[in-house]
Chains A and B, each alone.
Chain A
Amino acid sequence: EAGVTQSPRYAVLQEGQAVSFWCDPISGHDTLYWYQQPRDQGPQLLVYFRDEAVIDNSQLPSDRFSAVRPKGTNSTLKIQSAKQGDTATYLCASSPRDYNQDTQYFGPGTRLLVL
């Protein structure tokens, strides 16, 4: 079974530039999560979807960040006008609809550096 895949693996931007991250979850997983992990910290949830619906985006900086999952499979996270404080690893995770064990499976992440 293929795991969660993400691209690109690395991105380097100047402040003010835009960037998009792409995630392909494990086949059949209905729930998809995006996390931001600053250096030396734990992952922090930005947004999560069940199928194509946003369930919680309360931690997503809505003025510059957006996330979509139009067909309930792949997802894109976009940062408009990046800031140095956005430097972090962006992790995507997915989980199956299993009410007995809601384990999240993580992708390799995209490391973003904003200069």
Chain B
Amino acid sequence: GDKVKQSPSALSLQEGTNSALRCNFSIAATTVQWFLQNPRGSLMNLFYLVPGTKENGRLKSAFDSKESYSTLHIRDAQLEDSGTYFCAAEDSAGNKLTFGIGTRVLVRP
């Protein structure tokens, strides 16, 4: 968890609002992946990023390798967005992902 630091550790959102999650890296991250783990434990891919930004529906993510951070923005939060969001970084050695400890998100009606 020290190599990939996620913040906040937990977040409670009103349905329909926006929020942002952040990861800071103390390793030389070359790519970043974001996942959502649902209450049943399944990890779902959200984004695979090289430096730059990607958008998918209400989610948008950015990765800045020079400043060593990545963000995930949730727009118009829905109940099904609840779960634990993980970011994971790959360094130049390749293939191995280092995960953060996650951000628990609860979307309230």
Contact = CB atoms under 8 A, between A and B. Distances in A.
Contact of B48 (A91, A103, A109): A103
A interface bracket (residues with beta carbon within 8 Å of B): 20 to 34
B102 A42 contact: yes
A54 interface: no
B66 interface: no
Contacts of B31: 102
Q: Which secondary structure dominates chain A's binding surface?
A: strand
Interface residues of B, number: 23
Interface in A5-60: 31, 40-45, 48, 55-56
B95 A55 contact: yes
A105 B41 CA distance: 14
B8 to A, nearest CB: 15
B101 A43 contact: no
A101 interface: yes
A105 B101 contact: no
A88 B88 CA distance: 19
Given A102-B31, A103-B33, A42 B48 contact: no
A108 interface: yes
Interface string A97-115: 0000111111011010000
